[in-house]
C-alpha cells in the first residue's frame, strides 16, 4: 500500500482587520547626562528605579552626581547642557530637581566632596537645585554613636523645615517618607542601601519589600531613582534579590589588563530590558569609563565580554 507523502504546511493568511493595529506605547525617556551612554541607549524610561552597584571608588556615586548636574544644566545653561549631551538623540523629559536622600551623611559633607572632586560648576548647580534629606538622626538612634555626632540642629531642606527628631518607624520608615515627599518629578539619589544592609535592626526582607513597593510607586512620579549599593557587603543572595526588585542595574568595577600597568573603571548593564534592547548587539559590552574634574563621568569606549 502506497504511503502518501506528507503535505507541506502553510501558515494561515492573516485575517483582515477592521481597524489598524495600535501603535506601540512609547515611554518618556530621561537622559542620564553621560553622552555616549545616552547616545546608544536613548536614555532611561521615566519612572525607573536604577540600582547603581559598584566596588569602592569604581564610579557608581560619580555616575549619580554627574547625571544630576548635567540634567540640571538643561535649565541653567542650555548651551553647556548641549555640550555635555553631545550627539544624544531625544526627545527627552527632564526631572524638575534633584533630591538627595542620605542615610548617614550631612548635606555639607556631600557638597564638600563634590567641590573637591569636580569643577566649581558642579557644586554651584547642585546648590541651586538640590533638595537634601538627612536621615542620620533616625539611622544612629539606639546606637553607640553619641547624639552630638548625629543630631541635626539646622534645617537641611531648602525652603522647608526639616525635622531633627527621630522617625518612629526606624530608618526604613524614614526613607519611605522622604521618598514619598521628594519623589514626584525629581531625580532622587538614595545614598545608600549599603548603610541600611549593615545597620543592626534593619530587616532585609522589609528592605526588599520597600524597594519593590518603590518600583510600583515611582512609575507615577515620572522621574528617576538611583539606589547606591557597594558590592560585596551583602550576601550574594541579597544582592540578587535587589537586582530582581528594580528596573535596571548598572554595575561598576575595577578591571586590570595584562597589556596595561594600570587599573581602569568599567560599567556594565547587568539588567535593563528597555535599554539593552535599543543598544546594537555589537555594542552590548562593558563600557570603559573615566572620571575627570571638568566632565564628570564619561564613557570612553566599550569592549566585548
- The answer to the question of residue 174 being in a domain is yes
In a domain, 21, yes or no: no
Question: Which distant-in-sequence residues (6+ apart) come within 8 Å of 289 by Cβ?
Answer: 59, 63, 252, 265, 266, 267, 297, 298, 299, 300
3-state secondary structure (DSSP) of residue 169: coil
Domain count, the chain: 1
The percentage of the chain sitting over the pLDDT mark of 90, rounded to a whole number, equals: 62
Give me the CATH number covering residue 78: 3.40.50.300
Q: Is residue 35 part of a domain?
A: no
Asked whether residue 128 is assigned to any structural domain, the reply reads yes
Q: Is the pLDDT of residue 285 over 80?
A: no
**Length of the chain, in residues:** 305
DSSP letters, 215-243, are: HHHGGGT-SEEEEEEETTSS-HHHHHHHH
pLDDT band, very low/low/confident/very high, at 153 (cuts 50, 70, 90): very low
Whether residue 24 is contained in a domain is answered as no
| Residue 196, CA distances (Å) to 113, 130, 141, 270, 304 in order | 21, 23, 13, 23, 34
Tell me if 33 is assigned to some domain.
no
State residue 244's pLDDT score. Answer: 97
The answer to whether position 200 is within a domain reads: yes
E-assigned strands of 84-223? Answer: 97-102, 130-134, 186-191
- Look at residue 220 and tell me if it is in a domain: yes
User: CB within 8 A of 216, min separation 6: which ones?
Assistant: none
What pLDDT does 245 receive?
97
Q: Mean of the pLDDT values across residues 168-192?
A: 94
Q: What is the band of 89 on the pLDDT scale with cuts at 50, 70, 90?
A: low
Q: In the predicted model, is pLDDT for residue 239 greater than 70? A: yes
Residue 212: the pLDDT is: 97
Which range has highest mean pLDDT (133-142, 246-255, 278-287)?
246-255
Range 230-252 average pLDDT: 96
Range(s) of the domain holding residue 196: 44-303
Name the band, by pLDDT with cuts 50, 70 and 90, for residue 18: low
What percent of the residues of the chain are helix, what percent strand, and what percent coil, each to the nearest 5? Answer: 35, 20, 40
pLDDT score at 261:
65
Amino acid at each position: 500500500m502506497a504511503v502518501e507523502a506528507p503535505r507541506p504546511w502553510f501558515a494561515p493568511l492573516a485575517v483582515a482587520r477592521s481597524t489598524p493595529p495600535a501603535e506601540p506605547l512609547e515611554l518618556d525617556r530621561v537622559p542620564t547626562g553621560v553622552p555616549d551612554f545616552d547616545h546608544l541607549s536613548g536614555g532611561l524610561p521615566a519612572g525607573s528605579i536604577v540600582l547603581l552597584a559598584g566596588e569602592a571608588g569604581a564610579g557608581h556615586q560619580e555616575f549619580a552626581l554627574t547625571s544630576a548636574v548635567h540634567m540640571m544644566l538643561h535649565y541653567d545653561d542650555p548651551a553647556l547642557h548641549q555640550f555635555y549631551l553631545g550627539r544624544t538623540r531625544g526627545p527627552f523629559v527632564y526631572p524638575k530637581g534633584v533630591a538627595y536622600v542620605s542615610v548617614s551623611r550631612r548635606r555639607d559633607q556631600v557638597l564638600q566632596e563634590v567641590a573637591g572632586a569636580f569643577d566649581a560648576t558642579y557644586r554651584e548647580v547642585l546648590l541651586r537645585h538640590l533638595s537634601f534629606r538627612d536621615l542620620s538622626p533616625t539611622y544612629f538612634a539606639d546606637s553607640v554613636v553619641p547624639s552630638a555626632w548625629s543630631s541635626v540642629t539646622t534645617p537641611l531642606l531648602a525652603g522647608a523645615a526639616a525635622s531633627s527628631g527621630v522617625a518612629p518607624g526606624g530608618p526604613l520608615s524614614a526613607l519611605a517618607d522622604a521618598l514619598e515627599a521628594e519623589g514626584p518629578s525629581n531625580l532622587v539619589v538614595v545614598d545608600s542601601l549599603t548603610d541600611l544592609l549593615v545597620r543592626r535592626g534593619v530587616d532585609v526582607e522589609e528592605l526588599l519589600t520597600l524597594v519593590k513597593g518603590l518600583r510600583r510607586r515611582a512609575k507615577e512620579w515620572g522621574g528617576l531613582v538611583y539606589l547606591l549599593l557597594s558590592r560585596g557587603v551583602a550576601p550574594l543572595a541579597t544582592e540578587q534579590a535587589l537586582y530582581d526588585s528594580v528596573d535596571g542595574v548598572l554595575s561598576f568595577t575595577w578591571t586590570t589588563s595584562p597589556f596595561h600597568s594600570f587599573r581602569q573603571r568599567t560599567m556594565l548593564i547587568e539588567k535593563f530590558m528597555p535599554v539593552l534592547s535599543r543598544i546594537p548587539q555589537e555594542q552590548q559590552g562593558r563600557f570603559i569609563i573615566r572620571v575627570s574634574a571638568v566632565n564628570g563621568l564619561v564613557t570612553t569606549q566599550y569592549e566585548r565580554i
